[in-house]
Copies of this chain bind each other. A is one copy, B any other.
Protein backbone atom coordinates (compact mmCIF):
# COMPACT_ATOMS: atom_id res chain seq x y z
CA UNK A 1 0.00 0.00 0.00
CA UNK A 2 1.46 3.27 -1.19
CA UNK A 3 1.21 6.11 1.34
CA UNK A 4 -0.73 8.96 -0.24
CA UNK A 5 -2.52 12.02 1.17
CA UNK A 6 -5.76 10.09 0.56
CA UNK A 7 -4.49 7.14 2.64
CA UNK A 8 -3.53 9.39 5.52
CA UNK A 9 -7.03 10.90 5.61
CA UNK A 10 -8.50 7.38 5.46
CA UNK A 11 -6.40 6.25 8.44
CA UNK A 12 -7.33 9.36 10.43
CA UNK A 13 -11.03 8.87 9.70
CA UNK A 14 -10.97 5.18 10.54
CA UNK A 15 -9.22 5.87 13.86
CA UNK A 16 -11.75 8.58 14.72
CA UNK A 17 -14.72 6.33 13.93
CA UNK A 18 -13.25 3.44 15.93
CA UNK A 19 -12.51 5.71 18.89
CA UNK A 20 -16.09 6.98 18.94
CA UNK A 21 -17.39 3.39 19.07
CA UNK A 22 -14.85 2.28 21.65
CA UNK A 23 -15.65 5.22 23.95
CA UNK A 24 -19.40 4.66 23.83
CA UNK A 25 -18.82 0.95 24.55
CA UNK A 26 -16.67 1.81 27.55
CA UNK A 27 -19.42 4.07 28.89
CA UNK A 28 -21.63 0.94 28.82
CA UNK A 29 -19.02 -1.06 30.75
CA UNK A 30 -18.18 -3.40 27.87
CA UNK A 31 -15.07 -5.55 28.22
CA UNK A 32 -12.06 -5.02 25.94
CA UNK A 33 -13.32 -7.46 23.34
CA UNK A 34 -16.79 -5.90 23.24
CA UNK A 35 -15.30 -2.42 23.01
CA UNK A 36 -13.11 -3.54 20.12
CA UNK A 37 -16.06 -5.06 18.26
CA UNK A 38 -18.11 -1.88 18.68
CA UNK A 39 -15.13 0.24 17.57
CA UNK A 40 -14.44 -1.86 14.50
CA UNK A 41 -18.16 -1.97 13.61
CA UNK A 42 -18.30 1.82 13.73
CA UNK A 43 -15.24 2.04 11.49
CA UNK A 44 -16.11 -0.59 8.87
CA UNK A 45 -19.89 -1.03 9.25
CA UNK A 46 -20.91 1.55 6.66
CA UNK A 47 -18.51 0.29 4.01
CA UNK A 48 -19.47 -3.31 4.75
CA UNK A 49 -23.19 -2.62 4.31
CA UNK A 50 -22.36 -0.81 1.04
CA UNK A 51 -20.28 -3.71 -0.27
CA UNK A 52 -22.90 -6.33 0.71
CA UNK A 53 -25.62 -4.33 -1.10
CA UNK A 54 -23.32 -3.91 -4.12
CA UNK A 55 -22.67 -7.66 -4.07
CA UNK A 56 -18.89 -7.44 -3.71
CA UNK A 57 -16.41 -8.68 -1.10
CA UNK A 58 -16.34 -6.31 1.90
CA UNK A 59 -13.25 -4.10 1.60
CA UNK A 60 -11.69 -5.14 4.93
CA UNK A 61 -11.62 -8.83 3.95
CA UNK A 62 -8.79 -8.19 1.50
CA UNK A 63 -6.85 -5.60 3.51
CA UNK A 64 -6.66 -5.71 7.33
CA UNK A 65 -5.61 -2.09 7.92
CA UNK A 66 -9.01 -0.99 9.31
CA UNK A 67 -9.03 -3.88 11.79
CA UNK A 68 -5.51 -3.03 12.94
CA UNK A 69 -6.35 0.67 13.30
CA UNK A 70 -9.40 -0.24 15.39
CA UNK A 71 -7.00 -2.09 17.69
CA UNK A 72 -4.82 1.02 17.87
CA UNK A 73 -7.96 3.03 18.68
CA UNK A 74 -8.71 0.66 21.57
CA UNK A 75 -5.20 1.12 22.95
CA UNK A 76 -5.51 4.88 22.48
CA UNK A 77 -8.69 4.92 24.59
CA UNK A 78 -6.95 2.80 27.25
CA UNK A 79 -3.79 4.93 27.39
CA UNK A 80 -5.23 8.42 26.83
CA UNK A 81 -8.49 7.82 28.68
CA UNK A 82 -8.20 10.95 30.78
CA UNK A 83 -6.90 13.13 27.96
CA UNK A 84 -9.75 12.22 25.58
CA UNK A 85 -11.93 15.03 26.86
CA UNK A 86 -9.21 17.55 26.04
CA UNK A 87 -8.68 15.90 22.63
CA UNK A 88 -12.39 16.30 21.91
CA UNK A 89 -12.17 18.94 19.20
CA UNK A 90 -9.34 17.13 17.42
CA UNK A 91 -11.27 13.86 17.28
CA UNK A 92 -14.43 15.68 16.22
CA UNK A 93 -12.47 17.16 13.30
CA UNK A 94 -10.95 13.77 12.43
CA UNK A 95 -14.39 12.14 12.63
CA UNK A 96 -15.72 14.74 10.18
CA UNK A 97 -12.75 14.17 7.86
CA UNK A 98 -13.64 10.47 7.98
CA UNK A 99 -17.28 11.23 7.20
CA UNK A 100 -16.24 13.30 4.16
CA UNK A 101 -13.72 10.77 2.88
CA UNK A 102 -15.97 7.74 3.37
CA UNK A 103 -18.75 9.52 1.49
CA UNK A 104 -16.44 10.21 -1.46
CA UNK A 105 -15.13 6.62 -1.44
CA UNK A 106 -18.66 5.20 -1.40
CA UNK A 107 -19.80 7.40 -4.29
CA UNK A 108 -16.75 6.64 -6.43
CA UNK A 109 -16.99 2.89 -5.83
CA UNK A 110 -20.70 2.81 -6.71
CA UNK A 111 -20.28 4.93 -9.85
CA UNK A 112 -17.36 2.71 -10.84
CA UNK A 113 -19.76 -0.25 -10.87
CA UNK A 114 -22.05 1.55 -13.32
CA UNK A 115 -24.87 2.57 -10.99
CA UNK A 116 -26.84 5.80 -11.36
CA UNK A 117 -25.96 8.88 -9.29
CA UNK A 118 -28.93 8.51 -6.95
CA UNK A 119 -27.71 5.03 -5.97
CA UNK A 120 -24.16 6.37 -5.55
CA UNK A 121 -25.33 9.19 -3.26
CA UNK A 122 -27.24 6.70 -1.09
CA UNK A 123 -24.20 4.40 -0.95
CA UNK A 124 -21.90 7.34 -0.13
CA UNK A 125 -24.22 8.39 2.70
CA UNK A 126 -24.34 4.81 3.98
CA UNK A 127 -20.57 4.48 3.85
CA UNK A 128 -20.26 7.60 5.98
CA UNK A 129 -23.20 7.25 8.34
CA UNK A 130 -24.32 3.61 8.69
CA UNK A 131 -21.37 2.59 10.89
CA UNK A 132 -22.64 4.93 13.58
CA UNK A 133 -26.13 3.46 13.31
CA UNK A 134 -24.80 -0.10 13.69
CA UNK A 135 -22.70 1.10 16.66
CA UNK A 136 -25.82 2.45 18.37
CA UNK A 137 -27.77 -0.76 17.67
CA UNK A 138 -24.95 -2.80 19.27
CA UNK A 139 -24.86 -0.64 22.41
CA UNK A 140 -28.68 -0.74 22.51
CA UNK A 141 -29.30 2.99 22.08
CA UNK A 142 -31.54 4.90 19.70
CA UNK A 143 -29.29 5.89 16.75
CA UNK A 144 -27.88 9.33 17.57
CA UNK A 145 -27.81 10.54 13.97
CA UNK A 146 -31.61 10.22 13.74
CA UNK A 147 -32.09 12.76 16.47
CA UNK A 148 -29.17 15.13 16.67
CA UNK A 149 -27.08 17.42 14.49
CA UNK A 150 -26.45 17.47 10.78
CA UNK A 151 -24.64 14.27 9.95
CA UNK A 152 -25.98 12.04 7.19
CA UNK A 153 -27.57 15.07 5.54
CA UNK A 154 -24.04 16.49 5.11
CA UNK A 155 -23.20 13.35 3.10
CA UNK A 156 -26.30 13.82 0.94
CA UNK A 157 -25.35 17.45 0.30
CA UNK A 158 -21.82 16.39 -0.63
CA UNK A 159 -23.26 13.77 -2.97
CA UNK A 160 -25.42 16.37 -4.71
CA UNK A 161 -22.37 18.60 -5.17
CA UNK A 162 -20.47 15.66 -6.69
CA UNK A 163 -23.31 15.11 -9.13
CA UNK A 164 -23.70 18.77 -10.08
CA UNK A 165 -19.94 19.17 -10.62
CA UNK A 166 -19.84 16.06 -12.79
CA UNK A 167 -22.83 17.26 -14.82
CA UNK A 168 -21.10 20.62 -15.24
CA UNK A 169 -18.23 18.77 -16.88
CA UNK A 170 -15.67 19.09 -14.08
CA UNK A 171 -12.92 16.51 -13.73
CA UNK A 172 -13.93 13.60 -11.46
CA UNK A 173 -11.07 14.32 -9.06
CA UNK A 174 -12.17 17.94 -8.68
CA UNK A 175 -15.79 16.82 -8.19
CA UNK A 176 -14.68 14.38 -5.51
CA UNK A 177 -12.68 17.03 -3.64
CA UNK A 178 -15.57 19.52 -3.78
CA UNK A 179 -17.91 16.78 -2.50
CA UNK A 180 -15.59 16.09 0.45
CA UNK A 181 -15.23 19.80 1.25
CA UNK A 182 -19.03 20.17 1.20
CA UNK A 183 -19.50 17.32 3.68
CA UNK A 184 -16.75 18.72 5.92
CA UNK A 185 -17.85 22.33 5.95
CA UNK A 186 -21.57 21.67 6.19
CA UNK A 187 -21.10 19.52 9.27
CA UNK A 188 -18.60 21.92 10.89
CA UNK A 189 -20.85 24.93 10.23
CA UNK A 190 -23.95 23.07 11.44
CA UNK A 191 -22.27 22.22 14.73
CA UNK A 192 -20.77 25.72 15.14
CA UNK A 193 -24.11 27.48 14.55
CA UNK A 194 -26.26 24.79 16.20
CA UNK A 195 -28.12 24.07 12.98
CA UNK A 196 -30.15 20.87 13.05
CA UNK A 197 -33.07 19.37 11.22
CA UNK A 198 -36.55 19.91 12.67
CA UNK A 199 -38.00 17.13 14.78
CA UNK A 200 -40.95 15.39 13.13
CA UNK A 201 -44.00 16.29 15.20
CA UNK A 202 -46.03 13.41 16.49
CA UNK A 203 -49.82 13.26 16.63
CA UNK A 204 -49.86 10.54 19.24
Min CB distance A84 to B, Å, is: 5
Q: Which A residues from 82 to 123 make CB contacts under 8 A with B?
A: 82, 84-85, 115, 118-119, 122
Task: Kindly state whether residue A33 has any CB partner on chain B within 8 Å.
Answer: yes
Q: From known contacts A55-B55, A61-B53, infer whether A200 and B30 are also in contact, taking CB-CB under 8 Å.
A: yes
Which chain B residues lie closer than 8 Å to A122 at the CB level? 67
- Do residues B61 and A26 form an inter-chain contact, with CB atoms below 8 A? no
Q: From known contacts A23-B202, A138-B133, infer whether A153 and B33 are also in contact, taking CB-CB under 8 Å.
A: yes
Give the most central of A82, A115, A142: most B CB within 10 Å: A142
Which chain B residues lie closer than 8 Å to A133 at the CB level? 138
Set B30, B119, B153, B202: member contacting A199, Cβ < 8 A: B30
Q: How far is the CA of A84 from the CA of B105 in the complex (A)?
A: 41
